Amino acid sequence: MGNVKKKRFLKLSFIAGDGTGLNVIAHEIAHSWTGNLVTHFNFEHFWIKEAFTVFLERKIMGRIYGEPMRQFLAEGGWKDLKDSIEQYGEKNPLTKLHLDLTGLDPTDSFSKVPYEKGSTVIWYWDELYEDSELFDKFIRYFLSKWKFQSITLHNLFETILEFTRKEAPLDVYTKLLNMNTTAWFEEPGLPPYKPEWLKLGIRSRYKPIVEQVFRFTESQGRIYFNQQLFRDMYDWKEQRVETIETYHRIKNRWMFITGYLVGRELKLFC
């Protein structure tokens, strides 16, 4: 099943009584749609089928065990992605999503990158929509449009733009148009965005997440992320003092506008 072919039997270990193999079953069932019904044009676009399949696998697990399980599995996948990129080297072209395999054996490109970096793209789109039911509708539209066909990155991106323009709010379409496709698809290393597992930890008042949140906001200066994270940390009353202290410590590393807007979230400016 992992090779996207018909299979009638599963190893008993996959259906253990404690459910530890359910994610494998969910993954292979998802391949019936993303891999069999719609598949990649060639190995340079291999990530497409695995990205959707991993996304759907974790969505299924979230439906069974709750959203925290989905988030937990995704966080584990992020660690696998980091380990894989460290092994290859963050500048290695084989850590891109859209590969150029000219003169290479496609099997040399096999790693966690197409699975985990790819699924991060799909997760990012889902978060842009801010409406999981609408994004589910996009997936059904995508599968219907391209059923029994092999597709490329260009086909995929044109399809989500087409659907979003017709069905989603204008601001979602605008964000997609402004998506840095070069950074996402053509550059090696980690993707330019990490999904909002940090926000889940904040909402759950999970104290070990605090250090990770501040480390992440210190490592980059994007308004979109830092406004939301500092706003959520400010709402966590037990962490409010540390949040303001951290802001004053790192604000000069950001652009002025980022520091100003984050400061407003912390009620420091009128």
Number of domains in the chain: 2
Annotated catalytic residue 133: no
| Domain limit, last residue, from 134, 162, 186 | 186
pLDDT value for 237: 95
Enumerate the known binding-site residues for Zn(2+): 27, 31, 50
Low-confidence ranges of the chain (pLDDT < 70): 1-20, 68, 196, 270
Same domain, 214 and 139: no
Q: Pick the catalytic residue: 88, 115, 193, 234?
A: 115
Enumerate the known binding-site residues: 27, 31, 50
99 three-state secondary structure: coil
Same domain, 131 and 218: no
Same domain, 178 and 229: no
pLDDT value for 15: 59
Annotated catalytic residue 115: yes
The predicted model scores a pTM of: 0.72
Residue 31 φ then ψ, to 5°? -65, -20
Q: What is the pLDDT of residues 121-160, one digit of tens each?
A: 999 999 899 888 999 999 999 999 999 999 999 999 999 9
Measured CA to CA in angstroms, residue 241 lies from 185, 213, 235, 248 at distances of: 40, 15, 11, 11
| Contact yes or no for 243/209 (Cβ under 8 A) | no
CATH of residue 154's domain is 1.10.390.10
pLDDT value for 45: 96
Structure tokens, 118 = 């790819």
